[in-house]
Amino acid sequence: MNKLVKIALIVIGLVAAALWFFMPDASDPDAINNGAMNFMFVIMYILLAIAVITSVFFGLKKLLSTPGSLKKSLFALGGLALVVAIAYGLSSSEEAKAVVDTFADNSNLSTTESTVKNIGMGLNVFFILTIVAVALMVLPGLKKMFVK
């Protein structure tokens, strides 16, 4: 199996290297319709699909084969759901109304309170997870520094 993968990767690499020489010039206005470029995109999508499928497959295989990992994963997903729920609760509808009113007056962009509230929720999730990540990096260092 390992030899087949290596041979397939060598063939894909040689095809991509050959296509490189058929790439259009940067000043070509019709470069997007070049067959070599389109085929390189096809190769890229195939390799991306293979990478996604194998990473999901082996990740799920590892998740289901290790006894405690499924429980830990469910706790992590529950924690993430809790953070998202807290962030949604923290996103204010008054700010959403102000933003919608501002955009309605100044531009032709259509925004709703729900959209603005969801954006606020996403920002709050980012801030909460950043604070948690920094705390998880700093606290063990402080503990080592003061407790000996």
Lowest mean pLDDT: which of 10-14, 25-29, 75-79? 25-29
3-state secondary structure (DSSP) of residue 1? coil
pLDDT > 90? residue 87: yes
pLDDT band at 127 (very low <50, low <70, confident <90, very high): very high
Listed residue (78, 79, 146, 90) closest to 118, CA to CA:
90
Q: How far is CA 37 from CA 8, 41, 74, 111, in A?
A: 20, 6, 43, 38
Q: Is the pTM of this model over 0.85?
A: no
Cβ contacts of residue 116 below 8 Å, gap of 6+?
A: 95, 96, 99, 100
